């Protein structure tokens, strides 16, 4: 689990000159292992979705080449390799009878508690291995150290990922997984893990993370307390409103981005969540079925000035739809719901999980990571729902692939 998370956003794995070679080499070795050690029946069961997924990608790329005239083949291959890495991980977990959800939750709880002393140290200095040409971040492997940002009074906790918002996203996904295991948004047997995850979320100071914590608390209250809809939920909404008004990094950030988006015209570019949606909507309308591809000349053909600016695209959902088209995204979303329902056996819990994951995508490029691409294959692990929880010790789980 640790390694697939590293390939999903640890800068020492993803932001270095050797990153592509490392990804390809690791995936090939993992694939060879799978072909030699995983029984053929398991491979047959999951080959259908893999074949369909690869076929869908090739069809989309074919039409992108015909309609738009260019395709970033390296980008497409990198995406397929990430899909294969997620497939290998799922097959390995199924073969070893390891509970993917349980291992994910415990690994994120471990990373959260490990991050705290590094985060405290980061308040006093900027330590770690150099990350490419970046002057903002350094890596301590299990923690990404941030340089002080102008006009900021504190350093946010980014865990081992590329930024605090990414760390918050993976922590929120752990809370969603806990809800699926419990059939409802309840604590269940994961009290210790939830405490550590909340600690990581609070220190991340992520706007998206804070908003989603509030939504999860509301859903928890509605599912847990008999008077939740009448008494508790209105009280929580009041507390949330109070917190929003007093947390400047939330209120100011959201209102500034909304104001900037309102003033944008079709020629403007924006790295913000809302601005990126407005910018990407032109591309989605232009190519709703097959997308605009990864190639810079097609992906940003309405904004050629992007080639001279590193905009740092801020909306993972609009970006992936703009690249691959609406059908591809809906296909992935269908598998997210299928997995969520198979685990929770609850329409309300599964739908709430999908809703939270959709909101999660508004912040980061999660759909370009092996962890989120795993949703294509996770239903095949939980097709018969594991009868007993994995008894793998947390340290063993941490070092499992």
Highest mean pLDDT among 164-178, 199-213, 379-393: 164-178
Angle (nearest 5°) at CA 135 between 133 and 136: 125
* Predicted local confidence at residue 172, as pLDDT: 97
For residues 293 and 299, give the distance between their C-alpha atoms in angstroms, rounded to a whole number. Answer: 6
Region of residue 234 (phi > 0: left; psi between -120 and 50: alpha; otherwise: beta): alpha
pLDDT per residue as tens digits for the range 338-363: 999 999 999 999 999 999 999 999 88
Q: Which residues contact 11 (CB under 8 A, 6 or more apart)?
A: 131, 134, 137, 139, 144, 161, 162
Mean pLDDT score across all residues of the chain: 84
For residues 147 and 144, give the distance between their C-alpha atoms in angstroms, rounded to a whole number. Answer: 10
Average pLDDT over residues 301-308: 77
Partners of residue 261 on adjacent β-strands? none
* SS3 state of residue 135: coil
* Predicted local confidence at residue 386, as pLDDT: 43
For residues 147 and 79, give the distance between their C-alpha atoms in angstroms, rounded to a whole number. Answer: 31
Q: Which residues contact 379 (CB under 8 A, 6 or more apart)?
A: 335, 338, 339, 342
Q: Which residues contact 310 (CB under 8 A, 6 or more apart)?
A: none
Region of residue 157 (phi > 0: left; psi between -120 and 50: alpha; otherwise: beta): beta
Average pLDDT over residues 142-155: 75
For residues 97 and 81, give the distance between their C-alpha atoms in angstroms, rounded to a whole number. Answer: 24
Whether 392 shows a pLDDT value over 60: the answer reads: no
pLDDT per residue as tens digits for the range 13-27: 998 989 999 999 999
For residues 231 and 221, give the distance between their C-alpha atoms in angstroms, rounded to a whole number. Answer: 10
Whether 389 shows a pLDDT value over 60: the answer reads: no
For residues 114 and 123, give the distance between their C-alpha atoms in angstroms, rounded to a whole number. Answer: 16
Matching residue, tokens 């991340």: 204
pLDDT per residue as tens digits for the range 255-301: 666 665 666 666 667 667 777 888 888 899 999 999 999 888 898 88
Whether 387 shows a pLDDT value over 50: the answer reads: no
Q: How many CB atoms lie within 10 A of CB 150?
A: 4
* Predicted local confidence at residue 308, as pLDDT: 62
């Amino acid at each position: 689990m640790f390694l697939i998370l590293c390939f999903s956003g640890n800068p020492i794995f993803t932001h270095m000159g050797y990153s592509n070679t490392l990804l390809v080499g690791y995936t090939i070795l993992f694939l060879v292992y799978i072909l030699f050690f995983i029984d053929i029946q398991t491979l047959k069961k999951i080959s259908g979705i893999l074949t369909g997924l690869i076929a869908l990608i090739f069809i989309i790329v074919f039409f992108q080449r015909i309609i738009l005239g260019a395709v970033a083949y390296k980008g497409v291959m990198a995406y397929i390799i990430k899909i294969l890495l997620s497939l290998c991980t799922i097959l390995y977990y199924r073969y070893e009878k390891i509970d993917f959800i349980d291992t994910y939750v415990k690994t994120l709880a471990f990373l959260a508690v490990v991050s705290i002393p590094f985060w405290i140290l980061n308040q006093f200095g900027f330590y770690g291995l150099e990350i490419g040409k970046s002057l903002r971040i350094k890596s301590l492997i299990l923690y990404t150290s941030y340089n002080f940002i102008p006009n900021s009074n504190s350093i946010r906790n980014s865990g081992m990922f590329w930024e605090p918002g990414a760390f918050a996203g993976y922590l929120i996904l752990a809370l969603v997984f806990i809800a699926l295991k419990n059939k409802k948004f309840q604590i269940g047997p994961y009290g210790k893990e939830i405490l550590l995850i909340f600690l990581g979320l609070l220190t991340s100071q992520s706007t998206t993370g804070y908003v989603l914590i509030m939504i999860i608390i509301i859903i928890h209250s509605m599912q847990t307390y008999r008077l939740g809809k009448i008494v508790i939920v209105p009280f929580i909404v009041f507390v949330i409103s109070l917190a929003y008004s007093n947390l400047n990094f939330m209120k100011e950030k959201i209102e500034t981005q909304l104001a900037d988006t309102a003033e944008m015209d079709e020629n403007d570019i924006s790295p913000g969540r809302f601005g990126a949606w407005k910018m990407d909507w032109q591309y989605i309308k232009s190519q709703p079925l097959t997308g605009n591809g990864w190639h810079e000349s097609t992906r940003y053909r309405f904004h050629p000035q992007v080639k001279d600016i590193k905009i740092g695209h801020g909306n993972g959902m609009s970006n992936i739809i703009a690249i691959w088209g609406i059908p591809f995204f809906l296909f992935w979303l269908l598998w997210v719901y299928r997995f969520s329902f198979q685990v929770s056996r609850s329409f309300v819990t599964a739908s709430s999980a999908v809703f939270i994951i959709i909101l999660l995508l508004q912040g980061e490029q999660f759909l370009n990571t092996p962890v989120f691409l795993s949703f294509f294959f996770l239903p095949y692990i939980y097709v018969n729902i594991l009868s007993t929880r994995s008894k793998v010790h947390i340290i063993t789980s941490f070092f499992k692939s």
